[in-house]
């Protein structure tokens, strides 16, 4: 039986007086990759921030690796449970070189963790471009490179769980595919547990094995496995109101949404084919 | 931090308890003392106050009544000075005001003389504006600016070595500095003393680094510097000049800093020439007695300011006694022409302008010989000037 | 000529030394510490007491700033940390109050007298530099400032701690998301700023004398340097110190008090047209 590495129970979070997450309960098993799907502003980012302790938990419990971390300060959560938060805005530190941006994430692996210890060289192996640019100011990198940099920075902390917020945001499709491929590999090879929030369906579908459909105020409408998604594309589509969504969304974003006939049904669930064109 | 708080709280407690103290004796003669106890001039203010307190102690009683000195801090501000003077006169009912460390406060209080309607005898304000200012306003203790300038010029005239040097004039950039420099240049030129820069240099008031002027003085190749700098500032200039090795070649004349400032500046002020009415170098019985008494009372190097304030206060006490009561007009009458034989000889208040005539010493800061006060620096007397030499004429 | 240049450099060095702490505290923690001048004075007073009790000047130069830094850390914990999440106005008012309190304490503990820290005899006298005699102590001040700034740069550029500080000056939240306790960083930075102020105090002590208001008087010049160089910019601070130091040194001789007017004008122009300072590196949120 799988152990729950991350568990949220009846979580309530506020921004000032506005009650943003109202009773959220989700869990992620060790080694599992889970995505959260939802329209803009439903509270996906806030969920990740709550887990990382960046937005204070008002009520409910957050358990990571069996520890009740709900009211811990961020640095303690990160240090003791090895959660790595990779925000959508990436937060590359300007003024620090690429190498420094990586080194600042350095942390010894968690006691009793099995995986090998991450080093600068290992990160460079995954992202050769970072090695090439290691002396350059991190903020001068392109969007895709920055995304790689912040993933690399997270890896330097030898994470057990990675919270990945919109990794494809603002990236060209080809770069998106590349980033997704690498993350997929990381999960497979290093037993990383992943929580990903992603607007781009293909990426979500590819990276995660299970998906939470989140509605306004952080309410979970339902949870789907990849197989269930493949069988019920409409549910996801309707949940995200893709049709009316497209009226507001930029054309490019719409095109990334799979047509009912194509992926994910056409590809083996979870297989790389789901993203390839 | 906690200790600081504890100190603070205990001070507050002491302050709040003070009014509860029972009066020592009935119906004392109250004298109000306004001095500057905050900021750069605080040292002078402290010396002033101490001198007056010591005078009160030595005088003991006036007309059989104990003397009560009430001290207020004017913080060097005219408005505060007036407020404190009003408080002393109208609330505490003092019969006379004394002290006052800085000129602006002195002038402000003198300006209110009619309203305050008590005799006001300053022991330290040096502005010539006090000559004949008001029937109730007097100066006794410290000399006036013009008297100091005369004494400094006399000091040069009396020393052949100083006489043959040419002088560089440096002044604080405000009214007092300007008039001080101009008076000196005028008088010195009359007496045949060479002035290198008759248009003199002005130093900004908030100057911290004097090196630009020191450099100018060095390149001007003069033998002397006449510095019209406020006394709290002067040691800083001298110290920095000394760093540059200026003191070996150049003589500096200026208003002499307080004893405490000289001690703080140490060795580097050696050679600084100034003038004062009293220094513990004066070897007369009265002078020795004062120095010892001051040391015993306050455990500080007996300061010029202290002796001057002591003298002024004594003259005031004697005048109240002579007036036979606390009537302002009668006290003022008694002050006119009053004389007193004190630590620095006989002083007299001129009936013409209500200001003091006194002997003045030209002094040089030197390493002190072994002395009971543990002083490192002594103001050594190099010339004595009579009241007639110093003036002004009556 | 050499002497004039050295004079300009010296004032610049002092300004830099005293303002640099203010600069890094703002740069990294976004705290405008109006008590910075008082901590500079505190360092000077600690140094004064130590030296007058016979402690070696160089030892005092090391110990007094550390003590000032310790006081800074305590103050940060007690006063600034609890209101960190509030509006900046709170810190401004509170640190202003703090400076008044500290200045007042000086009078209680050390009295209002103007004091000098006795300079070590090894630094008395002058050195012949290309035919110009320049006081050893002033040359020492220059050298010490260069050392302090180089040390600070090495700390910031070459150590993990420095990396964290630089990162914290940009996206503090992300730094804590990497497992760093930002409270400790803020505390450490405040302490470091106070140590630097303390060094400035001890070094200035034999030159500019020690008195209760010395810090508040200095604070203004520090702010001028801070604004001209750009809030939180180290390189800007160096440039601005040179500029202000030179302008003041030359200005005070030729224009007396008008020199300050020029400096303030410079500040106003920079505030209006280049709010990020001369090098446009300032950190305005
Ligand atoms: N700092 C904040 N202060 C106040 N309200 C906020 C703040 N950040 C987010 N919110 C609000 O909280 C709600 C949830 O925001 P959140 O960023 O978690 O949504 P999201 O699901 O990540 O959306 P998106 O797809 O746009 O990233 C939104 O309504 C948003 O307006
Ligand atoms: Mg979001």
Condensed to tens digits (0 to 9), the pLDDT of residues C104-147 reads: 999 889 887 788 898 888 888 888 888 788 899 999 999 999 99
pLDDT band for position C251 (cuts 50, 70, 90): confident
pLDDT band for position B3 (cuts 50, 70, 90): very low
pLDDT band for position A1 (cuts 50, 70, 90): low
User: Among partner residues C160, C167, C178, which is closest to A78 by beta-carbon distance?
Assistant: C178
Contact A170, A176 (CB under 8 A): no
pLDDT at A244: 44
pLDDT at A86: 95
pLDDT at C174: 95
B38 and B111 within one domain = yes
B329 and B267 within one domain = no
Residue with the nearest Cα to atom 28 of ligand 1?
A: A41
Mean pLDDT value across chain B: 88
Is the bond preceding A274 in cis, omega lying within 30 degrees of 0?
no
pLDDT band for position B26 (cuts 50, 70, 90): low
Whether C61 has a pLDDT exceeding 50, the answer reads yes
Q: Mean pLDDT over residues A262-270, rounded? A: 39
Q: Mean pLDDT over residues C189-197, rounded? A: 96
Name the DSSP class of A130.
H
Terminal Cα distance for chain B, rounded? 59
pLDDT at B4: 43
pLDDT at A262: 39
B203 and B125 within one domain = no
Whether A124 has a pLDDT exceeding 50, the answer reads yes
Whole-angstrom distance, CA of residue B220 vs CA of residue B242 = 17
In chain B, which residue's Cα lies nearest the Cα of C259?
Answer: B204
Q: How many C-beta atoms lie closer than 10 Å to residue B114's C-beta?
A: 9
What's the gap in Å between A163 CA and the centre of ligand 2? 12
∠ CA A137-A142-A147, rounded to 5°:
90
Whole-angstrom distance, CA of residue B305 vs CA of residue B125 = 11
pLDDT at B157: 93
pLDDT band for position A115 (cuts 50, 70, 90): low
Whole-angstrom distance, CA of residue A159 vs CA of residue A86 = 11
pLDDT band for position C270 (cuts 50, 70, 90): confident
pLDDT at B257: 82
Whether B24 has a pLDDT exceeding 70, the answer reads no
pLDDT band for position A112 (cuts 50, 70, 90): confident
* B345-349 sheet: strands from edge to edge: B339-342, B345-349, B356-357
Answer whether C170 sits within 8 Å of A157, measured CB to CB.
no
pLDDT digits 0-9 by tens, B262-308: 888 888 889 999 999 999 999 999 999 999 999 999 999 999 999 99
**Position B321 in a domain:** yes
Whether A268 has a pLDDT exceeding 60, the answer reads no
Greater model confidence, A265 or C262: C262
pLDDT at C154: 95
What is the domain count for chain C? 1
B207 and B76 within one domain = no
Helices (H) and strands (E) in chain C, counts: 11, 2
pTM here?
Answer: 0.81
Whole-angstrom distance, CA of residue C36 vs CA of residue C222 = 9
Contact A84, A135 (CB under 8 A): no
Name the DSSP class of C268.
H
Least confident of A219-228, A263-272, B134-143, C274-283: A263-272
pLDDT digits 0-9 by tens, C30-42: 999 999 999 999 9
ipTM comes to 0.85
Give residue ranges with CB within 6 A of ligand 1.
Answer: A 15, 18, 20, 38, 40-46
Retrieve residue B50's tokens.
């101490």
* B207 near C CB under 8 A: yes
How far is C174 from chain B, CA to nearest CA, in Å? 34
Whether B107 has a pLDDT exceeding 90, the answer reads yes
Whether A100 has a pLDDT exceeding 80, the answer reads yes
Q: What percent of chain C has pLDDT over 90?
A: 58
From the CA of A43, the nearest ligand is: 1
**Rg of the Cα trace of chain A?**
18
Whole-angstrom distance, CA of residue B368 vs CA of residue B6 = 39
pLDDT band for position C176 (cuts 50, 70, 90): very high
**B170 - beta bridge partners?**
B201, B227
Greater model confidence, C79 or A271: C79
pLDDT band for position C284 (cuts 50, 70, 90): low
**B122 - beta bridge partners?**
B99, B139
Helices (H) and strands (E) in chain A, counts: 12, 10
Residue closest to B48 by CA, chosen among B312, B287, B295, B288: B312
pLDDT digits 0-9 by tens, B333-360: 999 999 999 999 999 999 999 999 999 9
**Rg of the Cα trace of chain B?**
21
Q: Mean pLDDT over residues A21-45, rounded? A: 91
Contact A179, A199 (CB under 8 A): no
Q: How many C-beta atoms lie closer than 10 Å to residue B123's C-beta?
A: 33
Retrieve residue B375's tokens.
């002083």
How far is C230 from chain B, CA to nearest CA, in Å? 24
| CATH superfamily placement of domain A4-274 | P-loop containing nucleotide triphosphate hydrolases (3.40.50.300)
Whole-angstrom distance, CA of residue A97 vs CA of residue A138 = 5
B182 and B81 within one domain = no
Q: Which chains reach chain A with 3 or more Cβ–Cβ distances below 8 angstroms?
A: C
Residue closest to A91 by CA, chosen among A26, A37, A27, A163: A163
Spell out the SS3 assignment of chain B: CHHHHHHHHHHHHHHHHHHHCCCCCCCCEEEEEEECCCCCCHHHHHHHHHHHHHHHHHHCEECCEEEEEEEEECCCCHHHHHHHHHHHHHHCCCCEEEECCCHHHHHHHHHCHHHHCCCEEECCCCCHHHCCCCCCEEECCCCCHHHHHHHHHHHHHCCHHHHCCEEEEEEECCHHHHHHHHHHHHHHHHCCCEECCCCCEEECCCCCCCHHHHHHHHHHCCCEEEEECCCCCHHHHHHHHHHCCHHHHCEEEECCCCHHHHHHHHHHHCCCEEEECCCCCCCCHHHHHHHHHHHHHHCCCCCHHHHHHHHHHHHHHHHHHHHCCCCHHHHHHHHCCCEEEECCEEEEECCCCCEEECCEEEEEEEECCCCCCCCCEEEEEEEEECHHHHCCCC
pLDDT band for position A111 (cuts 50, 70, 90): confident
* C-alpha C183 chain-centroid distance: 22
pLDDT at B77: 92
In chain B, which residue's Cα lies nearest the Cα of C213?
Answer: B39
Put simply, the chain A residues between 197 and 256 with a CB less than 8 A from any chain C CB are none
Contact B215, B189 (CB under 8 A): no
Q: Are strands B96-99 and B120-122 parallel, antiparallel or unpaired?
A: parallel
Whole-angstrom distance, CA of residue A29 vs CA of residue A27 = 7
Name the DSSP class of C76.
I
pLDDT at B15: 36
Domain range for B200? 146-276+361-390
pLDDT band for position B311 (cuts 50, 70, 90): very high
Q: Which atom, in ligand 1's list, is nearest to the CA of A199?
A: 25
pLDDT band for position A256 (cuts 50, 70, 90): very low
Domain range for C51? 12-211
Contact A162, A52 (CB under 8 A): no
pLDDT band for position C156 (cuts 50, 70, 90): very high
Q: How many C-beta atoms lie closer than 10 Å to residue C213's C-beta?
A: 18
Whether B235 has a pLDDT exceeding 90, the answer reads no
Q: Indicate the domain borders of chain A.
A: 4-274
Which residues have CB under 8 Å from C143's CB, separation 6+? none
The 3-state DSSP class for residue A10 equals strand
Which of B41, B199, B264, B374 best tests the C interface by mutation, with the highest count of C CBs <10 A?
A: B264
Whether A147 has a pLDDT exceeding 50, the answer reads yes
Q: What percent of chain B has pLDDT over 90?
A: 68
In the block, tokens 């004394």 appear at B98
How far is C249 from chain B, CA to nearest CA, in Å? 6
B104 and B221 within one domain = no
Spell out the SS3 assignment of A15-46: ECCEEEEEEEEEEEECCCEEEEEECCCCCHHH
B368 and B235 within one domain = yes
Retrieve residue B303's tokens.
């300061």
What count of CB pairs under 8 Å joins B to C? Answer: 115
Whole-angstrom distance, CA of residue C40 vs CA of residue C45 = 9
Q: How many C-beta atoms lie closer than 10 Å to residue B134's C-beta?
A: 15
Whether B362 has a pLDDT exceeding 70, the answer reads yes
Whole-angstrom distance, CA of residue B215 vs CA of residue B194 = 20
B367 and B227 within one domain = yes
In chain C, which residue's Cα lies nearest the Cα of B5?
Answer: C105
**Position B263 in a domain:** yes
Least confident of A188-197, B257-266, B378-387, C62-71: B257-266
B77 and B106 within one domain = yes
Pocket residue to mutate for ligand 1, from A8, A13, A15, most atoms within 8 A of Cβ: A15
Q: Mean pLDDT over residues B83-94, rounded? A: 94
Q: Do chains A and C touch (3 or more CB pairs under 8 A)?
A: yes
Whether A114 has a pLDDT exceeding 70, the answer reads no
**Position B7 in a domain:** no
Which residues have CB under 8 Å from A225's CB, separation 6+? A209, A210, A211
Greater model confidence, C281 or B155: B155
Q: Which of A262-271, B35-44, C174-183 has the highest mean pLDDT?
A: C174-183
* C129 near B CB under 8 A: no
pLDDT digits 0-9 by tens, C6-19: 989 999 999 999 99
Answer whether B215 sits within 8 Å of C217, measured CB to CB.
no
B231 and B93 within one domain = no
Provide the sign of the torsion angle of the four alpha carbons B294, B295, B298, B301, taken in this order: positive
What's the gap in Å between C85 CA and the centre of ligand 2? 23
Q: Mean pLDDT over residues A222-236, rounded? A: 84
Greater model confidence, B369 or B21: B369
User: Among partner residues A78, A96, A103, which is closest to C177 by beta-carbon distance?
Assistant: A78
* A74 near C CB under 8 A: yes
Residue closest to C203 by CA, chosen among C22, C61, C106, C20: C61
Q: Mean pLDDT over residues C205-234, rounded? A: 88
pLDDT at B394: 82
How far is A221 from chain C, CA to nearest CA, in Å? 29
Q: What percent of chain A has pLDDT over 90?
A: 54
B251 and B350 within one domain = no
How far is C180 from chain B, CA to nearest CA, in Å? 29
Q: Which atom, in ligand 1's list, is nearest to the CA of A39?
A: 25
Whole-angstrom distance, CA of residue B31 vs CA of residue B49 = 12
Mean pLDDT value across chain C: 90
Whether B13 has a pLDDT exceeding 50, the answer reads no
pLDDT band for position B196 (cuts 50, 70, 90): very high
What is the domain count for chain B? 2
Which residues have CB under 8 Å from B267's CB, separation 6+? B242, B367, B376
**Position C88 in a domain:** yes
Q: How many C-beta atoms lie closer than 10 Å to residue C235's C-beta?
A: 14
Answer whether C174 sits within 8 Å of A94, measured CB to CB.
no
Contact B187, B150 (CB under 8 A): yes
B217 and B229 within one domain = yes
Whether A255 has a pLDDT exceeding 80, the answer reads no
Provide the sign of the torsion angle of the four alpha carbons C49, C54, C57, C61, taken in this order: negative
CATH of the domain at B272: 3.40.50.2300
pLDDT at C166: 93
pLDDT at C88: 86
**Position C243 in a domain:** no
Q: Mean pLDDT over residues C77-87, rounded? A: 90
User: Among partner residues A94, A103, A157, which is closest to C179 by beta-carbon distance?
Assistant: A157
Q: Do chains A and B touch (3 or more CB pairs under 8 A)?
A: no
């Amino acid at each position: 039986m799988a152990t729950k590495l991350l568990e949220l129970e009846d979580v309530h979070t506020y921004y000032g007086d506005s009650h943003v997450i109202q009773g959220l309960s989700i869990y992620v098993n060790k080694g599992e990759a889970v995505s959260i799907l939802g329209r803009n502003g439903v509270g996906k980012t806030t969920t990740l921030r709550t887990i990382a302790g960046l937005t204070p938990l008002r009520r409910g419990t957050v358990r990571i690796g069996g520890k009740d971390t709900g009211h811990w300060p961020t640095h303690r959560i990160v240090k003791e449970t090895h959660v790595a938060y990779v925000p959508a805005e990436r937060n590359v530190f300007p003024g620090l070189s690429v190498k420094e941006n990586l080194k600042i994430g350095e942390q010894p692996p968690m006691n009793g963790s099995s995986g090998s210890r991450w080093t600068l060289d290992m990160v460079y192996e995954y992202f050769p471009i970072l090695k090439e640019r290691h002396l350059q100011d991190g903020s001068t990198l392109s969007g895709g490179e920055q995304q790689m940099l912040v993933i690399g920075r997270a890896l330097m902390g030898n994470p057990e769980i990675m919270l990945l917020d919109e990794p494809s945001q603002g990236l060209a499709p080809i770069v998106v595919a590349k980033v997704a491929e690498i993350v997929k590999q990381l999960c497979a090879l290093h037993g990383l547990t992943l929580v990903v929030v992603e607007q781009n369906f293909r990426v979500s579908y590819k990276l995660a094995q299970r998906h939470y459909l989140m509605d306004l105020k952080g309410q979970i409408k339902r949870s789907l496995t990849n197989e269930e998604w493949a069988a019920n594309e409409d549910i996801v589509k309707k949940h995200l109101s893709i049709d009316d969504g497209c009226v507001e969304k930029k054309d490019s974003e719409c095109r990334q949404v799979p047509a009912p006939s194509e992926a994910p049904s056409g590809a083996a669930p979870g297989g790389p084919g789901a993203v390839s064109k | 931090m906690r200790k600081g708080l504890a100190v603070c709280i205990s001070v507050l407690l002491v302050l709040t308890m003070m009014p509860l103290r029972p009066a020592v004796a009935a119906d004392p003669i109250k004298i109000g003392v306004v001095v500057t106890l905050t900021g750069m001039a605080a040292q002078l203010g402290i010396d002033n106050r101490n001198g007056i307190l010591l005078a009160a102690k030595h005088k003991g009683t006036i007309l059989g009544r104990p003397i009560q000195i009430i001290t207020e801090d004017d913080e060097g501000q005219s408005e505060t000075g007036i407020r404190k003077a009003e408080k002393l006169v109208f609330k505490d009912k003092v019969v006379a005001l004394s002290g006052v460390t800085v000129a602006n406060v002195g002038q402000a209080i003198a300006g209110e003389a009619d309203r305050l309607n008590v005799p006001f005898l300053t022991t330290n304000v040096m502005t010539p504006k006090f000559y004949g200012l008001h029937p109730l306003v007097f100066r006794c203790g410290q000399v006036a600016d013009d008297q100091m300038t005369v004494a400094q010029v006399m000091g040069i005239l009396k020393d052949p070595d100083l006489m043959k040097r040419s002088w560089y004039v440096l002044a604080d950039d405000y009214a007092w500095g300007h008039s001080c420099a101009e008076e000196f240049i005028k008088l010195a030129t009359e007496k045949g003393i060479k002035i290198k820069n008759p248009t003199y240099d002005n130093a900004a008031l908030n100057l911290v680094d004097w090196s630009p002027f020191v450099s100018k003085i060095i390149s001007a190749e003069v033998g002397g510097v006449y510095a019209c700098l406020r006394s709290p500032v002067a040691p800083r200039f001298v110290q920095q000049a000394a760093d540059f090795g200026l003191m070996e070649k150049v003589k500096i004349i200026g208003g002499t800093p307080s004893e405490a400032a000289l001690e703080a500046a140490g060795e580097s002020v050696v050679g600084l020439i100034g003038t004062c009415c009293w220094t513990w170098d004066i070897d007369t019985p009265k002078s020795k007695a004062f120095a010892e008494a001051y040391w015993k009372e306050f455990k500080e190097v007996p300061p010029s300011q202290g002796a001057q304030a002591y003298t002024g206060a004594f003259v005031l006490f004697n005048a109240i006694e002579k007036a036979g009561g606390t009537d302002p007009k009668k006290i003022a009458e008694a002050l006119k022409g009053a004389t007193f034989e004190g630590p620095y000889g006989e002083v007299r208040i001129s009936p013409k302008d209500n200001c003091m005539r006194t002997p003045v010493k030209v002094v040089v800061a030197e390493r002190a010989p072994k002395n009971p006060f543990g002083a490192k620096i002594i103001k050594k007397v190099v010339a004595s000037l009579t009241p007639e030499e110093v003036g002004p004429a009556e | 000529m050499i002497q004039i240049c050295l004079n300009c450099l010296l004032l610049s060095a002092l300004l830099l030394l005293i303002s640099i702490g203010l600069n890094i505290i703002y740069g990294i923690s976004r705290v405008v510490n109006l008590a910075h001048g008082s901590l500079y004075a505190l360092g000077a007073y600690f140094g004064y007491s130590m030296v007058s009790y016979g402690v070696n000047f160089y030892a005092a130069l090391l110990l007094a700033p550390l003590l000032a830094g310790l006081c800074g850390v305590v103050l940060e914990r007690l006063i600034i940390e609890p209101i960190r999440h509030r509006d900046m106005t709170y810190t401004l008012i509170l640190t202003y109050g703090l400076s008044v309190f500290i200045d007042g304490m000086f009078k209680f503990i050390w009295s209002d007298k103007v004091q000098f820290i006795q300079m070590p005899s090894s630094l008395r006298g002058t050195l012949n530099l290309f035919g110009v005699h320049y006081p050893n102590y002033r040359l020492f001040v220059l050298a010490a400032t260069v050392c302090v700034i180089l040390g600070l740069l090495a700390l910031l550029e070459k150590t993990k701690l420095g990396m964290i500080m630089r990162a914290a000056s940009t996206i503090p939240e992300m730094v804590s998301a990497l497992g760093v306790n930002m409270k400790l960083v803020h505390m450490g930075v405040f302490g470091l700023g106070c140590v630097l102020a303390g060094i400035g105090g001890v070094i200035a002590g034999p030159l500019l004398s020690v008195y209760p208001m010395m810090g508040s008087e200095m604070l203004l010049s520090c702010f001028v340097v801070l604004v001209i160089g750009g809030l939180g910019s180290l390189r800007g601070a160096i440039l601005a110190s040179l500029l202000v130091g030179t302008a003041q040194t030359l200005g005070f001789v030729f224009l007396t008090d008008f020199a300050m007017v020029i400096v303030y004008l410079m500040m106003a122009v920079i505030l209006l047209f280049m709010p990020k300072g001369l090098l446009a590196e300032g950190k305005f949120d």
